[in-house]
Amino acid sequence: MTTQLPLVIVGGGAAGLAAALAAAPMPVLLLSRSEGGNGTASALAQGGIAAALDKSDSAAGHIEDTLVAGARHNNAGIVRWLCAQAPTAIDWLAEMGALFDQDESGHLQLGREGGHRAARIVHAGGDATGAEIIRAMRKRVLDDTRIERREGLVVDALLLRGGRVCGVRTRDTVGNVELIEASFVVLATGGIGAAFARTSNPPTADGSGLALGMCAGAAVRDLEFVQFHPTALDVPGGHCLPLITEALRGAGARLIDASGAPLMQGVHVLGDLAPRDVVARRVWQSQQEGGGVLLDTSAVTGDWEQRFPTVLAACLGQGIDPRCDPIPVTPAAHFHMGGLCTDLDGSTTIPGLYAVGEVACNGAHGANRLASNSLLEAVLCGQRLGRRLVRLPQAQPRGAFVWRKPGRSLAEAARRELRDLLWEAAGPVRDEATLCTALRRCIELAESGWQARLAQALLRAARGRRESLGAHYRSDEANARAQEVAGAQSG
Ligand code: SIN
């Protein structure tokens, strides 16, 4: 009789927890870098979870807004499934014990965010939605004896046999390594925001899971599509910055330039609630022109401690009282639409290896994710993957064991240099010359650490897409077109 090997899930954010809970009839080993459920991007998510719940709203409206935000680069079938299932995700999270904000009659409060033509953002603790759903799901995981959790561990290699992923190697904070065989391995490691000089993500969102999948040979797609949130708190010299939720603009806050003029006036019909890429570029442009950008919150009513406690605490921590002072803001790398290529069931191109949440790219978000669709995707796709893996027979791979590992990490000074390079070259506004310069430097650094090879892949993808699409904005697009036309005429 063969013993049942555990399903190994790498990552303790919303996608990993949802997959673990859904798979739990089988033995699950949940590995995470951070401890106590903190340190994941999911736990930092403020705005909420999008679901068409209002009588005047519909899944069709949610689908259309998702496709428009994604510049129709999305997988439309996956978008239809996601938006139709969104209300079930809210019900399931409530069953898990998540306490969503309600009005006096006990109905869910629904907020507005950029790109949504309806109020459909379900939230918790005002602006602490991610923290609340992680709290609720973690409690269920802790209570479930079929799920073993190990925290404070980095997975630094994948074990393959006969071309199939069948285990991982972990390293703890003091360098002890352990080899763990698995029935299946799920990467739910989050995104790459921390690879940029300014990010709303935690430091662990450094792309290590993506690099791990890539070194095992898994295909990637859409790496050039990185979403920049227009409003992170502008802490001078800061890297991982507190988010200033878009829900504040949904509640009436307005972006202004250093002279107090409204920043978004005349830029887009939706004004301050224009799609995120449009707003982020406008803030970036204003910064390039030498002016700071502020979020004027004077129109926001109600009790900040109830409505926006996370933003309030972050601002007070920097000596800014958002109840009476405008908040200095900056764009920040926020979400990676690209990643390990998967289908809706989380299969990568390597047998035995699955990916879910931000590290994966199943096409749900297209070229630009719609606000509050990421927790939604993490929960629904995590559940779907967990349920599927329970039903799959355990494979019996044969042949020699091989390790695939991204290898050594760049030294801190080189990591800082790389973050600045990516911010300048692959930030909200991109052009060929800056991309090429950054790429040359990454090639020089490639042997020194996996981060440079990952950055290289992203820069190559950004160079390869010469037209602007969604969050990928090429300021030289017009020049490139003109050159092509001239080339075609002279050829
Ligand atoms: C926000 O609260 O502004 C972020 C929500 C999201 O990224 O979906």
Asked whether residue 268 is assigned to any structural domain, the reply reads yes
**Whether residue 430 is found in the same domain as residue 481:** yes
What region does 4 belong to: left with phi over 0, alpha with psi -120 to 50, or beta? beta
Q: What is the pLDDT of residues 142-188, one digit of tens each?
A: 999 999 999 999 999 999 999 999 999 999 999 999 999 999 999 99
**Whole-structure pTM value:** 0.95
Contact of 332 with 279, CB cutoff 8 Å: no
Asked whether residue 1 is assigned to any structural domain, the reply reads no
User: Which residue puts its alpha carbon closest to atom 5 of ligand 1?
Assistant: 47
* Predicted pLDDT of residue 453: 97
Contact of 490 with 477, CB cutoff 8 Å: no
Asked whether residue 120 is assigned to any structural domain, the reply reads yes
Number of domains in the chain: 3
In this structure, the residues whose C-beta lies within 6 A of any atom of ligand 1 are 45-47, 243, 245-247, 371-372, 374
pLDDT higher than 60, residue 359: yes
3-class DSSP assignment, residue 1: coil
pLDDT higher than 70, residue 427: yes
Contact of 185 with 173, CB cutoff 8 Å: no
Beta strands 154-161 and 147-151 are: unpaired
Residue 263 sits in a domain whose CATH number is 3.90.700.10
* Predicted pLDDT of residue 352: 97
* Predicted pLDDT of residue 2: 61
User: Which residue puts its alpha carbon closest to atom 4 of ligand 1?
Assistant: 47
Alpha helices (H) in 223-370, listed in sequence order:
247-250, 276-288, 304-307, 309-317
pLDDT higher than 90, residue 349: yes
Q: What is the pLDDT of residues 438-491, one digit of tens each?
A: 999 999 999 999 999 999 999 999 999 999 999 999 999 866 565 666 666 655
Tokens linked to 215? 């070194």
Indicate the pLDDT class of residue 13, thresholds 50, 70 and 90.
very high
Instruction: Match 């199939």 to its residue by tokens.
Output: 164
Domain ranges, residue 455: 410-490
Ligand 1 centroid to residue 47 C-alpha, Å? 5
pLDDT higher than 70, residue 189: yes
**Whether residue 44 is found in the same domain as residue 157:** yes
**Whether residue 474 is found in the same domain as residue 383:** no
Q: Which residues are catalytic?
A: 276
Ligand 1 centroid to residue 216 C-alpha, Å? 32
**Whether residue 111 is found in the same domain as residue 174:** yes
Average pLDDT score over residue span 417-425: 98
**Whether residue 269 is found in the same domain as residue 377:** no
Last-in-domain residue among 332, 364, 379: 332
